[in-house]
Amino acid sequence: MNEIVATARCYRRACGGVMEGRIGNYPYRECGLDSVTLKGIRVYHCTECNALVPEIPAAGVLHRLIAVHLLNKKTLLSGAEVRFLRKLCGYSAEEFSTIMGSSKAVISRWENQNTHGGGTDRTIRLLVLDFLVREIAGKSAPVLKDVTVEQLSRQVLDTIKELADRRSDEQYEIPYKDIERSTQNSNINSREPVLV
């Protein structure tokens, strides 16, 4: 068992127990994806009520790192991945349906039944690339450190050229050091505990 590196009061109102923080891996399902594991982060466990609370460093930066992983996926995005990217860009289902030239029902099928094809997948990736490029270009201190517009564009366009029109389940491991490196000099630089 890992060594206790910190303690805190339980975040649940009625509990009041002691939470023991240990460095470990955490399946980050709160983002809406079952495929993301945070590696080497502090995870608190309440000795009274068994609550688990990960210490999420800079969730905004983390979500952008996840998006970069998804944009570079060599196979079609899953419906959950489409939903994650839509929400990251700040689009409601209605706004997204207007942009994509589809109905809300079609968007719902893409996100819940994995019914979109290669052309739609490529368009979604280009929309997210546009969002990230505008974000990078519009900030004096970029959200993702060491990511340039040219590098990101080249990677995504290369992926789009090689995209296989099939689906696959991929797992994404985001090490704490990658999050920490990306948060240095970032406008999004906070540690945000997320209650599970």
Give a yes or no: residue 101 inside a domain: yes
- The whole-angstrom separation of Cα 165 and Cα 110 is 15
Q: Give me the pLDDT at residue 143, please.
A: 66
Asked if the model's pLDDT at residue 188 lies above 50, the reply is no
46 in any annotated domain: no
CATH code where residue 135 lies = 1.10.260
According to the model, what pLDDT value does residue 196 have? 35
Highest mean pLDDT among 75-84, 145-154, 164-173: 75-84
In a domain, 185, yes or no: no
Structural domain contains residue 75: yes
Is 125 within the bounds of a domain?
yes
Q: Is residue 31 part of a domain?
A: no
Give the total number of structural domains in the chain.
1
Residue 33 lies in a domain: no
Over residues 103-112, the pLDDT tens digits come to: 999 999 999 9
| Token pair recorded at residue 148 | 């340039």
Cα separation, 111 vs 124, whole angstroms: 12
Residue 114 lies in a domain: yes
Q: Is the pLDDT of residue 145 over 90?
A: no
CA–CA separation, 126 and 160 (whole Å): 9
pLDDT number for residue 177: 87
Taking Cα atoms as reference points, which of 63, 94, 97 lies closest to residue 81? 63
Q: 9-13, 17-21, 168-172: which has the minimum mean pLDDT?
A: 9-13
Domain with 77, as residue range(s), is: 60-169
